C-alpha cells in the first residue's frame, strides 16, 4: 500500500480529486467505484469545481456506489443515493444512465444484490474504487466478520455503525438496521483503490488496518493484500502510524 500524506482535509480532498481526474483523462469511460459518507464530501466538491472550471468532463464515465440503506428510496434525504446526487452528480455531468447504486427499496432485495454484482462484471469491473473507512474498520458496509470472499449482499449494521451514522438522522431509531453493500471480494477486484481517512478519531483504526494483522475482524486490513492501493491521510488520521 502506498501512503500519501496530506496536511489537512483540504489537501487530502485535492490529492484524491487529482487522482480521479488523471484516471478520467487517461480513460474517459472509466468505471468508478464511489463511497458515500462524510470523508468524501471534500473530494466531490473538488471534482465539482474542476468540472465547473471546464477542466474535466465525466460524460463517458460510469459509477457504482458501494452501498445503500435498506428501506431508503433515492429521494430520501439520508439515502446514499441522495447524498451522491447532492454532493457529486448534480455538480457534474455524469449521465444518469451511467450512475449505479443498489436499490434499497427493491421488491426482491436478494435479486437486487445478484443483479448489482452482475452489472459491475458486465461493465468490465471497476477501474478505480474510492473508499472511506468506518470506525470499526468497515469498508462499504462490510462490518467486522465479513468474509473476504463476500460479494454484494444484504448485511446487518452494527450498533456502533448505526450510532456513528445517526448524526445525519433525527435519532438512532431512524437509522436503518440493514444495508446492501458490495462485498469485500467485489471491492478487491477493483484495479486501483484509494482509501481516504481524516481526523483524529480514525487514527486508531488506520493503524490497525494498515499495520496490524490482516483479519476479518478489521475488514480494511484486507487492502494490505491489494496490489494497487493508495491511502491518503491527513496528519491526524496518520498520527498513530
Could you say whether residue 132 binds ligand GLP (CB under 6 A)? yes
Phi, psi (rounded to 5 degrees) for 177 = -95, -10
For ligand GLP, the binding residues in 54-73 under the rule CB under 6 A are 66-67
Per CB under 6 A, 186 contacts ligand GLP: no
Phi, psi of 191 (to 5 degrees): -70, -30
Other C-beta atoms closer than 10 Å to the C-beta of 111 total 10
Contact criterion met (CB below 8 Å) for 145 and 158: no
Cβ closest to ligand GLP, residue 62 vs residue 129:
129
141 binds ligand GLP (CB under 6 A): yes
227 noted as active-site residue: no
Site track 149-178 with ligand GLP (rule: CB under 6 A), x = hit? ------------x---x-------------
Backbone φ, ψ for residue 110 (5° rounding): -60, -45
**Catalytic one of 67, 68, 117, 127:** 67
**136, 226, 235, 236: the active-site residue:** 136
| Closest distance to ligand GLP from the beta carbon of 57 (Å) | 26
Does residue 42 touch ligand GLP according to CB under 6 A?
Answer: no
Which of 33, 63, 181 minimizes the C-alpha distance to 112?
Answer: 181
152 near 181, Cβ under 8 Å?
A: yes
CB 61 within 8 A of CB 97: no
Q: From the list 5, 38, 178, 215, which residue makes contact with ligand GLP (rule: CB under 6 A)?
A: 38
The 8-class DSSP code of residue 142 comes to B
What burial class does residue 85 get, using C-beta atoms within 10 Å of its C-beta: 0-12 exposed, 13-18 middle, 19+ buried?
A: middle
Residue 36 interacts with ligand GLP (CB under 6 A)? yes
Which of 102, 104, 140, 219 forms a contact with ligand GLP (CB under 6 A)? 140
Binding status of residue 137 toward ligand GLP by CB under 6 A: no
Q: Which of 92, 93, 104 is nearest to 68 (CA)?
A: 104
Q: Are strands 31-34 and 128-131 parallel, antiparallel or unpaired?
A: parallel
Q: Is 67 a catalytic residue?
A: yes
Interface with ligand GLP, residue 37, by CB under 6 A = yes
Active-site residue set: 67, 136, 138, 143
Positions touching ligand GLP (CB under 6 A) are 35-39, 66-67, 132-134, 140-141, 161, 165
Amino acid at each position: 500500500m502506498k501512503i500519501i500524506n496530506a496536511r489537512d482535509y483540504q489537501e487530502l480532498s485535492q490529492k484524491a480529486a487529482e487522482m480521479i481526474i488523471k484516471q478520467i483523462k487517461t480513460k474517459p469511460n472509466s468505471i468508478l467505484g464511489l463511497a458515500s459518507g462524510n470523508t468524501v464530501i471534500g473530494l466531490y466538491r473538488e471534482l465539482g469545481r474542476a468540472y465547473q472550471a471546464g477542466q474535466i468532463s465525466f460524460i463517458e464515465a460510469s459509477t457504482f456506489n458501494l452501498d445503500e440503506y435498506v428501506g431508503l428510496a433515492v429521494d430520501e434525504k439520508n439515502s446514499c443515493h441522495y447524498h451522491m446526487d447532492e454532493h457529486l452528480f448534480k455538480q457534474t455531468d455524469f449521465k444518469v444512465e451511467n450512475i449505479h447504486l443498489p436499490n434499497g427499496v427493491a421488491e426482491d432485495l436478494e435479486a437486487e444484490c445478484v443483479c448489482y454484482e452482475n452489472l459491475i462484471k458486465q461493465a468490465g469491473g471497476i477501474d478505480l474504487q474510492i473508499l472511506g473507512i468506518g470506525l470499526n474498520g468497515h469498508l462499504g458496509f462490510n462490518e467486522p466478520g465479513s468474509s473476504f470472499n463476500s460479494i454484494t449482499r444484504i448485511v446487518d449494521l452494527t450498533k456502533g455503525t448505526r450510532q456513528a451514522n445517526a448524526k445525519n438522522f433525527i435519532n438512532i431509531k431512524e437509522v436503518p438496521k440493514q444495508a446492501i453493500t458490495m462485498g469485500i471480494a467485489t471491492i478487491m477486484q477493483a484495479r486501483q483503490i484509494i482509501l481516504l481517512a481524516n481526523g483524529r478519531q480514525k487514527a486508531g483504526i488506520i493503524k490497525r488496518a494498515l499495520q496490524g494483522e490482516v483479519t476479518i475482524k478489521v475488514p480494511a486490513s484486507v487492502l494490505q493484500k491489494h496490489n494497487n492501493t493508495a491511502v491518503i491521510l491527513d496528519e491526524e488520521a496518520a498520527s498513530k502510524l
